[in-house]
Amino acid sequence: MSEKSIKDIVVLGESEGVERPMTISPPKAIGGSLSVMDTLHFVSRDSAFVAGIWESTPGRFHAFYEEDEFYYMLHGKVTISDEDGNARTFHPGDCIVVPAGFVGTWEVLEPTKKFYAHHRPALCE
């Protein structure tokens, strides 16, 4: 018999999560007054994989990805720019992956909510 059951399946937005208010302050914050809530719903045994719900008010901040991130936009609008100034804007329904090693900026243009899953390769080595 398996050590996991249907009760161990996590449904983001339904399963109980751990709310972690986040402060993004200078030098990482570079515009607006960000108010961020990260609700963590799952952490793997080795802590290399996590999943949850991220919400933010408008603002702009530096982004340094140590992990691979998959996310699905539920509502809002964000623009992600790389260090060369190339940018893309994402809207509800967009489903993207940002690879570990990406450096740039995030600009939250409207109150935003997303489902996310991170894999932290450095923890697995």
Distance CA 97, CA 21 (A): 23
Lowest mean pLDDT among 7-11, 63-67, 69-73: 7-11
Domains for the chain: give ranges and CATH numbers.
15-124 (2.60.120.10)
Find where tokens 């991170």 sit: 118
Distance CA 101, CA 112 (A): 23
Q: pLDDT category, 3, cuts 50, 70, 90?
A: confident
Question: Quick one: CA dihedral 77, 81, 85, 88, positive or negative?
Answer: negative
- Looking at residue 76, its pLDDT comes to 98
Which neighbouring-strand residues pair with 61? 29, 106
Distances, alpha carbon 116 to alpha carbons 19, 30, 50, in Å: 14, 23, 8
Q: pLDDT category, 122, cuts 50, 70, 90?
A: low
- Looking at residue 87, its pLDDT comes to 98
Average pLDDT in the chain: 91
Distance CA 81, CA 100 (A): 15
pLDDT tens profile 69-116: 999 999 999 999 999 999 999 999 999 999 999 999 999 999 999 999
Amino acid at site 61:
F
